[in-house]
Amino acid sequence: MNVLMQSDLSAIVEAVNLVWVLTVTFLIFFMHAGFAMLEAGQVRSKNVANQLTKNLLTWSVGVIVFFLVGAAISTIVGGVTGGGSYSVGGAFMDIWYPGESTAWVGWLFGAVFAMTAATIVSGAVAGRAKLRAYVTYTIVLAGVIYPVVVGFTWAGGFLSNFHDFAGGMIVHGMGGIAGLTAAWIIGPRMDRFNADGSVNVIPGHSLTFAVLGTLVLAFGWYGFNVGTAAAPLAMADDGSVTLGSFSYVGRVALTTTLAMGAGAIGAAALSMMKTGKVDTLYVANGLLAGLVGITSVTDAVVWPGALVIGLLAGAQLPIVFEFVEKRLNIDDVCAVFPVHGSAGVLGALLFPFFSVDGFTVGALVNQVVGVAVIALWTFAATAAVFTVLKSIGQARVTPEHERAGLDTSEHGVDTYPEFGKPDVAADGGITFESEDVVRTDGGSEE
């Protein structure tokens, strides 16, 4: 009788854990809607469809590549660099034909993390990268670049002592560094910088979309962080059911929330200090930077540390963005490096100073080494891909296509066909006698 009861309880525990993982996985997937809106809002109206298409293809192409190649590569790299046993054929077969189909739930959970890293890059190279170049890089990132980072760390490689709970550095820091590298090699948008290096501001077309995307991402981030506590229940040897990863889920939920709010405040404060005004886009991106900063350490820091990490991650955003823009003259359109790159690095390095276990030199060394290795690998691999693409003339569109906009040149569509077209009247065709009257559809009457 007891054996039967334990068997029933075991099935219940497994079912609850699987449902939890699937639920948070779907929540993380929904973050792609946030990325799409955030990036679409920060580009010009003539490039919106291109940005949306890149987000759609990131998932569609990348997730298949990660299934066929990437997931197994991470296992192999983990075994090679960590000194553990591994089988090349077995690594692929474990993904393609696992003993139980429930194993694919774990694969999908890993896949949404991989695709988050991939989609970050699209915002950095917006407005001038060829679609084929971006898709090519997505294939390499999903198949090799990101899996190698996972192999070094989560898959048991030589950086297995590097503390990164939910990907603050492994996912976001890596994506931000990749985006900055790609933007540097491709070069800035036309007219972004003058000959003397001074900056011309090119505003995005919709602050509304950008803020909507920010809030969608923040919502999905609870799946990212809280969801990584992936085993709500555990079954002890005596048959009793206890809390699994949920023993610390409250800390994760609290520190994630505090850092999120503090990030927005930090960016707002720096914006006010620099310009005397609170820049809305800085606030939005600062909120995300706070989330990035806490993501690697959210399970193991004291809550005052979450406030400090969030504030610093948000405050560094305007400073780093201005440095990248005015000192490096790199055109990072959607500020992916200050939001994801430098904020991810900051959070990982601050872990030993706010750890619930107290500061140790060993922990600091582990974090510094981990950040350095991930950064160097990401930079080198990304630079290699985009240098090759640039050398064969496939990295960016022609000047004529860039002026016309990537929506028409790359996709043959116009995201806002009613704007600026005298022969189209989307508001019903009301004709004004005076040319000074502004129509609701943005058009003009002739």
Q: Is 50 exceeded by the pLDDT of residue 117?
A: yes
Q: Supply φ then ψ for residue 282, to 5 degrees.
A: -65, -40
pLDDT tens-digit map of 20-76:
999 999 999 999 999 999 999 999 999 999 999 999 999 999 999 999 999 999 999
445 and 363 in a common domain: no
Rounded to whole angstroms, the Cα distance separating 214 from 237 reads: 44
111 backbone φψ class: left, alpha, beta (φ>0; ψ -120 to 50): alpha
- Over residues 245-272, the mean pLDDT reads 95
Secondary structure tally for the chain: helices H, strands E: 18, 2
Give the model's confidence band at 180: pLDDT under 50 very low, under 70 low, under 90 confident, else very high.
Answer: very high
439 and 399 in a common domain: no
What CATH number is attached to the domain comprising 356? 1.10.3430.10
430 and 307 in a common domain: no
Q: What is the pLDDT of residue 84?
A: 83
- Over residues 244-257, the mean pLDDT reads 91
Counting beta carbons within 10 angstroms of the beta carbon of residue 280, is it exposed (0 to 12), middle (13 to 18) or buried (19 or more)? middle
96: Cα separation from own chain's centroid: 26
Query: How many domains is the chain partitioned into structurally?
Result: 2
Give the model's confidence band at 243: pLDDT under 50 very low, under 70 low, under 90 confident, else very high.
Answer: confident
Q: Using DSSP bridges, classify how beta strands 241-243 and 233-235 pair: parallel, antiparallel or unpaired.
A: antiparallel
pLDDT tens-digit map of 138-173:
999 999 999 999 999 999 999 999 999 999 999 999
User: What would the two tokens of residue 125 be?
Assistant: 């190279």
302 and 176 in a common domain: yes
Q: What is the pLDDT of residue 204?
A: 95
- The answer to the question of residue 2 being in a domain is no
232: Cα separation from own chain's centroid: 25
88 and 176 in a common domain: yes
Mean residue pLDDT across the chain:
92
Q: What is the DSSP letter of 193?
A: B
User: What would the two tokens of residue 384 be?
Assistant: 């290699």
pLDDT tens-digit map of 262-305:
999 999 999 999 999 999 999 999 999 999 999 999 999 999 99
- The answer to the question of residue 302 being in a domain is yes
- The answer to the question of residue 265 being in a domain is yes
- The answer to the question of residue 236 being in a domain is no
- The answer to the question of residue 355 being in a domain is yes
- The answer to the question of residue 388 being in a domain is yes
- The answer to the question of residue 398 being in a domain is yes
399 and 306 in a common domain: yes
- Over residues 320-342, the mean pLDDT reads 97
Q: Is 80 exceeded by the pLDDT of residue 98?
A: yes
Q: What is the pLDDT of residue 7?
A: 65
- Over residues 89-112, the mean pLDDT reads 96
292 and 426 in a common domain: no
439 and 299 in a common domain: no
95 and 34 in a common domain: yes
Is the pTM higher than 0.75? yes
User: What would the two tokens of residue 260 be?
Assistant: 């999120």
- The answer to the question of residue 201 being in a domain is yes
CB 386, CB 133: distance < 8 Å: yes
For residues 443 and 366, which has the higher predicted lDDT (pLDDT)?
366
Q: Is 80 exceeded by the pLDDT of residue 422?
A: no
Q: Is 80 exceeded by the pLDDT of residue 244?
A: yes
444 and 369 in a common domain: no
Nearest alpha-carbon partner for 203 in 71, 335, 111: 335
Give the model's confidence band at 247: pLDDT under 50 very low, under 70 low, under 90 confident, else very high.
Answer: confident
Give the model's confidence band at 420: pLDDT under 50 very low, under 70 low, under 90 confident, else very high.
Answer: low
Long-range pairs for 387-395: beta carbons < 8 A, 24 or more residues apart: 387/185, 389/133, 389/136, 389/137, 390/185, 390/186, 394/130, 394/132, 394/133, 394/136, 395/129, 395/130, 395/133, 395/185, 395/186
What residue numbers bound the domain in which 158 lies?
15-229+248-406
